[in-house]
Amino acid sequence: MLSYLCCAIFGAEPASRKTDNFKLIQDPVNYLALEKRITPVIIINEASHMNGAVLSDLKILFNFEMDSRDRAVILLAGQPQLNNTLRLNAHEPLRQRLVMNYNMEGLSKEEGRISCEESRCR
């Protein structure tokens, strides 16, 4: 599923084999990173809804040759349960690749009220 979506993003026709799809994604990422000196940023919203197989695919998909420079930046955005999922032993290899983990708290009632009042003033 993830590989089909990524192939579509990179303008490639999805292949029938997962490994072929990984190559279809890795090749343009390598080209951008190594030849154009551009680091692609891939944002996955609602990542807390991703199942274990998709998270494992992410680990494999972006497991480039060891190198001092990241080839792509992956931003996983989701609900707090995403952190719980990533803490599972099965996802340890993916969690080890995380450079940063940030949790955003919601606005308090007071902050929400002030924000709402400020937006009416504009």
Alpha-carbon gap, residue 31 to 44, rounded angstroms: 21
Where do we find the tokens 């940023």? 41
Running along the chain, 122 residues long, what does each successive block of 10 average in pLDDT? Answer: 64 82 86 91 91 87 68 89 92 87 83 72 57
Alpha-carbon gap, residue 118 to 107, rounded angstroms: 14
Domain count, the chain: 1
The pLDDT of residue 77 is 92
Distance of CA 115 to the CA centre of its chain: 30
12 lies in which domain range? Answer: 2-121
The pLDDT of residue 96 is 86
The pLDDT of residue 120 is 65
The pLDDT of residue 13 is 80
**Per-residue pLDDT tens digits for 61-82:** 877 664 566 788 889 999 989 9
